[in-house]
Chains A and B, each alone.
Chain A
Amino acid sequence: MTKQTQQPQSVFNGDLLKAAVIDSLRKLDPRTLWRNPVMLCVEIASLITVVTFAMSLTGANTEPAWFTGAVSLWLWLTVLFSTFAEALAEGRGKARAASLRKSRTDVTAKLLGTPEFTSSFTTVGASQLRKNDLILVEANEMIAGDGDVVAGAALVNESAVTGESAPVIRESGGDRSAVTGGTTVISSSIIIRITANPGETFLDKMIGLIEGAKRRKTPNEVALEVLLIALTVVFLLVCANISPLSIFSVTAAGHGTPVSLTILVALFVCLAPTTIAALLPAIGIAGMDRLFQKNVIALSGRAIEAAGDVNVLLLDKTGTITYGNREAVAFVPVGGHSERDVAEAALMASLADETPEGRSVVLLAQRKYDLVREISTTAELVEFSAETRLSGINTDGIRYRKGASDSIVAFVKKQEGGHIPRDLEQVVDKIARGGATPLVVCKDGDVYGVINLKDIVKSGIQERFLQLRSMGIKTVMITGDNPLTAAAIAAEAQVDDFLAQAKPEEKLRLIREYQEAGYMVAMTGDGTNDAPALAQADVAVAMNTGTQPAREAANIIDLDSNPTKLLDIVEVGKQILMTRGNLTTFSISNDIAKYFAIIPAALLSIYPQLGVLNVMHLASPFSAILSAVIFNAIIIPMLVPLALKGTKFRPMPAEKLLIHNLLIYGLGGIIAPFVGIKIIDMVIGLMV
């Protein structure tokens, strides 16, 4: 199977950079920038410094023009770096949206009156299709809109949406009936009932989401913005407060000059949480993009963040925890037969069995005893039937059979001389109790032994569950198996809990119970019968191969249809929040050093004693202030890669994680600017 994986594009890809630079200039428009109030304040501050610079040039301001000019330049760069970060994050999505849009080029559709292949059709444009219209799609035609197959079956190439070039079967009825507009039918004809109006299709939604056009701020983002705006207002007042305080101090000290507007504005921008405010939009957009690289489409940013909060994970057993099919793992003899005899009989009984279980018996026999048998031409194949519930082969007058214990017992009892070994029941029970399926093998009336058919738990799944547990996430396995089997598999996979013989209404009840107890529940599903539970879950991941109802009930769609993706989604959700939190702490911690750079410099003319606060020994008041401004600006592009990639995620208990991040971003945030500002000051010293 070839796969066009969504290549993670380099952050500093040349074309993307160029487009981002142009876009970042466009985003300076205050009508766009008001969505980021903190940066809008910085833009206004930059405008003020343009005025003070102009006044320096005309002599109306006594500060040297090189100083006001440089401050103004760097303040503008601060705003520009912020819009650039957002443009860069959007750029990657835009490139992908453009390629998706190509597959949506205006196609025509064959509109039918009745859902019959024989009825006549009229050709209409895709944009004229409405919900419940019926269309006919023939081989090598593109499907004009989202819908459900109501008649026929076809191979469909969905690479335009999923990046997966292997075609998939889409057929009416069952769990594989959903088709997506923009995909192509490769063979056969199908009739589709349209389920989405133009502009509301899956592809349209995807393009909108990727472009970030419809991106709405998540509640968490808004709450953080409240904090950032409040801090900005406080720092605005702090800077406004310095002016009258310094005017009074000049009178009191009898010398010096009140702090100038340029310096107040510079101090304000340095104190305001510009680092996090500048990178905030980029963090969210980049998070969705990272998920898209993993072939997951989140239908809202909220869904990803909710994923970060999930504390109960409902996982389907089959395909997620275990490989889809059971596998033979052992031959257990009964009635004095040898294990090799059992293997041979089992092999014979399975030769004609093309199911994965049957093939695994053949493989096991070959692996263990090097047994290879061919089906002789005279052999008569006995296929599994509902009445006998047995399968096997009749060859050279010998009847090999395998099947459930009671079926074989019934079969053997009918044979002449058939008898049931006394130890059979015990062996069968033992295997069943171990969570496996016992298949009994007989040769005519002689019961040889039992095949141990086991659900194979995916390798490495226990480690992932362990990680989840250390993050405080509980895993619950959902299975149709009986409780005995379920318990055994649950123990092996080390899930925290399981729901056996699960029916749709029981899944729904389970989710409601967890939610009632305050848990955030995530689940994966693909079938129509999963839809109610998906709609109820806080984070609902639908497989792209799933049915239309399942996809509509979900808020995240996995294009690869790989259920373990939930773990990745949880990780990205957490990363987004962590990146925001860490950069907020970093941004605020930075202020301490900036105070020590700017306050002594600003007040030196009034109180030379305050020179002792110049702990960094910065060369001159002007270079001290400029160094703080430059540091404040260049830290933004330096942190862009972190914002786009996200803070590294480590599964560990909350308290340890907090201490770890506080040491890096809190303590680091205090120390880094002291070093950075000093270095910039030294560089300025060399240049002047």
Chain B
Amino acid sequence: MNASEYLETIIFFLVLLAVTKPMGFYMAHVYQGERTVLSFVLAPCEKVIYRISGVTPEDEMDWKRYALSMVLFNLVLFGGLFTLLMTQHLLPLNPQKVPPFTWQLALNTAVSFVTNTNWQAYAGEQAASYFTQMVGLAVHNFVSAATGMAILIALIRGFIRRKTSDLGNFWVDMTRGTLYILLPISLIAAIFLVSQGVIQNVGAYKTVPLIQSTNYDKPKLDGNGAPLKDAKGTPVTENVLVTEVTIPMGPVASQEAIKELGTNGGGFFNANSAHPYENPTPLTNFVEILLILLIPAGLTSTFGVMVGNTRQGWGMLAAMLFLLVLAFGALQWAESAGNPLVAKLGVTGVNREGKDIRFGLAGSSLFTVGTTGTSCGAINTMHDSLTPLGGMVPLSLILTGEVVFGGVGSGLYTMLAFAVIAVFVSGLMIGRTPEYLGKKVEVREMWMSILVILTAGVTVLVLSSIAMITPAAVASMANPGAHGLSEVLYAIASMANNNGSAFAGLNANVNFYNLSGFLAMTLGRYVPAVAILAMAGSLAEKKYVPPSLGTLPTDRAPFVIWLVLVIVIIGALTFFPALALGPIVEHLTMGGN
């Protein structure tokens, strides 16, 4: 890493820290129904929305009603998107005349966007019409993000409220989150992106001749779209000559902004944020990484403000930031070391495969850890092309349950579930019935926290076991051996943890991955979400225990370090064997040990 890359990284983290507090305070005001700078325009809009939809803002819900509203709302959205994907050929704004999705792919894609995963087993520019992108996918980018934030806010209310079953009103939280937070920032970000060269139109794709014709080896696919392999297991290719190129168009900027801001990650184009129309310059790259982390970082501060102790928020931020910096350092180190197989050919230095020169090593690494630490899943780097240990970094960030900032709302609520577990064990170690933020941690909180932190991990273990002994699943791997294992593990982990980024190198548009992915994404989103609301309900009913000298402070370094250890140890113990058989053995093999 050279000096300018150091500088870029340091400036990035300084800017992130600088925006955390104002962002957090603003969001706290929004969710507490207080007046904000935008109220003069948005408050009347908010009132109109409530009047039209018949929502009484003062109508408080208990956890069951809150959860039921959330689930039903998501179910309706899912149904709508599924129908849209199956009928997009009949709908307007389809200049390329793209056909409808298959039902398996539609099922997978619909749940993927509703759950804020944005796993894409299709290429956006080839499979989705403009109407699908704008009315279907973009809308879900907003509401799935707002849903995650609403659940977090309900949990925070559970911590701060006493002896009540009221957790707020789901519809109000959804409206405020979308109206005051997601829409204004997306609007500004989209305008900025357009200024940098991101396109925004609904015109037909343009075909232009190449200045210099070229050729490449194209992998042959079988009838199912899986790569054909010869007897040795290497893919069969054919040489193709290219003289002209089709350049896809579309309303990209508007979608790009919310894609990052809502930690959605579903790219307009297949190349996602590596595509110059999505992410043209190092500056847009910087801004896009910032957008990914903006709300998750800000929410830690919102949490601190709402529980009445900003240090609690900073503690959470410190734990997340520590893991992010650690992951960034590990990735930088692994990629800087380069590829020993390439080094044997006399080319030493940074592993440049799969990286865009315009972003540089730091710009690529920062985006990679940012997008996998949060549940965004947008990419500007081919994760499949990272060195084995480098690839293990995003994989590990996903496998630890998306808590290194994590998805909007979902990251912090998962982190708080980890905190409950950490508080429980440390509470026992100091000889007290554990309490967190003045609320006692009892059997119910333990059950719910465990459901939150282990659902995704259990799903990954079960589905990866099935995949490894399912021929159709194994056949989708582009690479044999340990690397193929990593590809499958990554794909399942990405879906179960609602990340949505792809390791690539795996043909995911087959029934096995479409359907198991549907299951993984559904379980990975709704089991924790409902468990969090149940825990919020249980916490809100409890009385407040004032802190004393015997209470373990959770806003100081020892607890934060313990929390980080709990996260790392639970993650490592769950996935050590799988990682040993994937990236670790691949690394050892590459090094020629």
Q: Which A residues are closer than 8 A to B by beta carbons?
A: 219-220, 222-224, 226-227, 230, 233-235, 237-238, 240-249, 252-253, 271, 305-306, 308-309, 311, 469-474, 516-520, 573-575, 577-578, 580-582, 584-585, 588-589, 591-592, 595, 599, 603, 607, 609-610, 612-613, 649, 653-655, 657-659, 661-662, 665-666
Contact A472 B550 (CB under 8 A): yes
Q: Which residues of A contact B581 (CB under 8 A)?
A: 245-246, 249, 603, 607
Contact A519 B450 (CB under 8 A): no
Answer whether residue B61 sits at the interface, using C-beta atoms and an 8 A cutoff.
no
Interface residue from A219, A222, A246, A471 paired with B549 (Cβ < 8 Å): A471
Contact B431 A308 (CB under 8 A): yes
Residues 530-561 of chain B: 1 if any A CB is under 8 Å from the residue's CB, otherwise 0? 00000000000001111011111100101100
Q: Which residues of B contact A252 (CB under 8 A)?
A: 480-482, 484-485
Query: What are 21 inter-chain pairs, A to B, with CB distance below 8 A?
Result: A227-B450, A240-B465, A244-B467, A245-B485, A245-B578, A247-B469, A308-B431, A473-B550, A519-B545, A520-B545, A578-B430, A580-B428, A581-B429, A581-B430, A589-B569, A607-B585, A610-B584, A657-B430, A658-B426, A662-B429, A662-B562
Specify the chain B residue showing the minimal Cβ separation from A310.
B550
Q: Which residues of B contact A242 (CB under 8 A)?
A: 577
Specify the chain B residue showing the minimal Cβ separation from A227.
B446
Q: Which residues of B contact A240 (CB under 8 A)?
A: 461, 465
Which of B96-104, B183-191, B332-340, B436-444 is found at the contact surface with chain A?
B436-444
Specify the chain A residue showing the minimal Cβ separation from B426.
A658
Q: Which residues of B contact A573 (CB under 8 A)?
A: 431
Query: Interface size for chain B: under 10, 10 to 19, 20 to 34, or 35 or more residues?
Result: 35 or more
Specify the chain B residue showing the minimal Cβ separation from A578.
B431
Contact A243 B550 (CB under 8 A): no
Answer whether A661 and B430 are a contact pair too, CB < 8 Å, given A253-B481, A585-B425, A655-B552. yes
Residues 397-432 of chain B: 1 if any A CB is under 8 Å from the residue's CB, otherwise 0? 000000000000000000000000100111111111
For residue A38, give the distance in angstroms from its CB to the closest CB of chain B: 15
For residue B159, give the distance in angstroms from its CB to the closest CB of chain A: 14
Contact B433 A241 (CB under 8 A): no
Answer whether A308 and B480 are a contact pair too, CB < 8 Å, given A472-B551, A599-B577. no
Interface residue from B428, B464, B569 paired with A241 (Cβ < 8 Å): B464
For residue B233, give the distance in angstroms from its CB to the closest CB of chain A: 9
Residues 430-463 of chain B: 1 if any A CB is under 8 Å from the residue's CB, otherwise 0? 1111000010011101110010001001100110
Q: Which residues of B contact A474 (CB under 8 A)?
A: 548
Contact B573 A591 (CB under 8 A): yes
For residue B442, give the distance in angstroms from its CB to the closest CB of chain A: 6
Contact A610 B580 (CB under 8 A): yes
Known contacts A223-B445, A242-B577, then 9 further A-B pairs from the complex at CB < 8 Å, ordered by chain A residue: A230-B454, A247-B469, A471-B549, A518-B438, A577-B432, A595-B576, A609-B589, A610-B584, A658-B562
Answer whether A599 and B576 are a contact pair too, CB < 8 Å, given A575-B431, A654-B549. yes
For residue B421, give the distance in angstroms from its CB to the closest CB of chain A: 7
Specify the chain B residue showing the minimal Cβ separation from A249.
B581
Q: Which residues of B contact A234 (CB under 8 A)?
A: 454, 457-458, 461, 573-574
Interface residue from B441, B461, B556 paired with A237 (Cβ < 8 Å): B461
Contact A473 B548 (CB under 8 A): yes
Answer whether A271 and B573 are a contact pair too, CB < 8 Å, given A610-B585, A654-B553. yes
For residue A219, give the distance in angstroms from its CB to the closest CB of chain B: 6
**Interface hub of A227, A591, A665 (most chain B Cβ within 10 A):** A227
Answer whether A585 and B429 are a contact pair too, CB < 8 Å, given A247-B468, A518-B543, A518-B545. yes
For residue B200, give the distance in angstroms from its CB to the closest CB of chain A: 45
Given the complex of chains A and B, what is the CA–CA distance between A471 and B576 in angstroms?
39
Answer whether A609 and B585 are a contact pair too, CB < 8 Å, given A252-B484, A581-B426. yes
Answer whether residue B474 sits at the interface, using C-beta atoms and an 8 A cutoff.
yes
Contact B443 A222 (CB under 8 A): yes
Interface residue from A248, A271, A577 paired with B468 (Cβ < 8 Å): A248
Q: Which residues of B contact A248 (CB under 8 A)?
A: 468-469, 474, 485
Contact B443 A219 (CB under 8 A): yes
Given the complex of chains A and B, what is the CA–CA distance between A222 and B543 in angstroms?
21
Interface residue from A230, A233, A581, A588 paired with B573 (Cβ < 8 Å): A588
Given the complex of chains A and B, what is the CA–CA distance between A592 and B462 in angstroms?
22
Specify the chain B residue showing the minimal Cβ separation from A254.
B481
Answer whether residue B1 sits at the interface, using C-beta atoms and an 8 A cutoff.
no
Q: Which residues of A contact B468 (CB under 8 A)?
A: 244-245, 247-248
Answer whether A655 and B556 are a contact pair too, CB < 8 Å, given A238-B574, A591-B573. yes
Answer whether residue B247 sits at the interface, using C-beta atoms and an 8 A cutoff.
no
Contact A243 B465 (CB under 8 A): yes
Answer whether residue B593 sits at the interface, using C-beta atoms and an 8 A cutoff.
yes
Given the complex of chains A and B, what is the CA–CA distance between A610 and B480 in angstroms?
18
Which B residues between 479 and 496 are near A, CB-CB below 8 angstroms?
Answer: 480-482, 484-485
Given the complex of chains A and B, what is the CA–CA distance between A517 and B424 in angstroms?
22
Contact B481 A308 (CB under 8 A): no
Answer whether residue B68 sits at the interface, using C-beta atoms and an 8 A cutoff.
no
Interface residue from B426, B428, B474, B578 paired with A224 (Cβ < 8 Å): B428
Given the complex of chains A and B, what is the CA–CA distance between A226 and B458 in angstroms?
16
Q: Which residues of A contact B432 (CB under 8 A)?
A: 308-309, 574, 577, 654
Contact B433 A581 (CB under 8 A): no
Q: Which residues of A contact B577 (CB under 8 A)?
A: 238, 241-242, 245, 595, 599
Contact A517 B546 (CB under 8 A): yes
Answer whether A471 and B550 are a contact pair too, CB < 8 Å, given A237-B458, A308-B431, A518-B544. yes
Contact B458 A658 (CB under 8 A): no
Given the complex of chains A and B, what is the CA–CA distance between A10 and B461 in angstroms?
47
Given the complex of chains A and B, what is the CA–CA distance between A599 and B484 in angstroms?
20
Answer whether residue B588 sits at the interface, using C-beta atoms and an 8 A cutoff.
yes
Contact A588 B569 (CB under 8 A): yes
Q: Which residues of A contact B578 (CB under 8 A)?
A: 241, 245
Contact B546 A518 (CB under 8 A): yes
Contact B446 A223 (CB under 8 A): yes
Specify the chain B residue showing the minimal Cβ separation from A236.
B461
Contact A658 B431 (CB under 8 A): no
Q: Which residues of A contact B433 (CB under 8 A)?
A: 220, 305-306, 308-309, 577
Given the complex of chains A and B, what is the CA–CA distance between A573 and B562 in angstroms?
24
Answer whether A223 and B442 are a contact pair too, CB < 8 Å, given A242-B577, A245-B464, A252-B480. yes
Pairs A-B, 5 closest by C-beta atoms = A581-B428, A472-B550, A574-B431, A472-B548, A472-B549
**Interface hub of B421, B441, B549 (most chain A Cβ within 10 A):** B549
Contact B446 A226 (CB under 8 A): yes
Q: Which residues of B contact A222 (CB under 8 A)?
A: 443
Contact B461 A241 (CB under 8 A): yes
Interface residue from B429, B446, B550, B569 paired with A661 (Cβ < 8 Å): B429
For residue A561, give the distance in angstroms from its CB to the closest CB of chain B: 26
For residue B518, give the distance in angstroms from its CB to the closest CB of chain A: 21
Given the complex of chains A and B, what is the CA–CA distance between A668 and B531 in angstroms?
34
Q: Which residues of A contact B484 (CB under 8 A)?
A: 252
Contact A609 B431 (CB under 8 A): no
Given the complex of chains A and B, what is the CA–CA distance between A36 and B493 in angstroms?
32
Given the complex of chains A and B, what is the CA–CA distance between A579 and B546 in angstroms?
25
Q: Which residues of A contact B549 (CB under 8 A)?
A: 469-472, 653-654
Given the complex of chains A and B, what is the CA–CA distance between A97 and B577 in angstroms?
50
Given the complex of chains A and B, what is the CA–CA distance between A666 and B479 in angstroms?
40
Interface residue from A238, A271, A577 paired with B428 (Cβ < 8 Å): A577
For residue B582, give the distance in angstroms from its CB to the closest CB of chain A: 8
Given the complex of chains A and B, what is the CA–CA distance between A591 and B572 in angstroms?
10
Specify the chain B residue showing the minimal Cβ separation from A240.
B465
Given the complex of chains A and B, what is the CA–CA distance between A247 and B324 in angstroms?
34
Contact B588 A610 (CB under 8 A): yes
Specify the chain A residue showing the minimal Cβ separation from B448.
A226
Given the complex of chains A and B, what is the CA–CA distance between A248 and B482 in angstroms?
9
Given the complex of chains A and B, what is the CA–CA distance between A306 and B431 in angstroms?
10
Q: Which residues of B contact A595 (CB under 8 A)?
A: 573, 576-577
Given the complex of chains A and B, what is the CA–CA distance between A666 and B461 in angstroms?
27
Given the complex of chains A and B, what is the CA–CA distance between A229 and B216 in angstroms?
54
Q: Which residues of B contact A574 (CB under 8 A)?
A: 431-432
Given the complex of chains A and B, what is the CA–CA distance between A603 and B558 in angstroms?
37
Contact B562 A613 (CB under 8 A): no
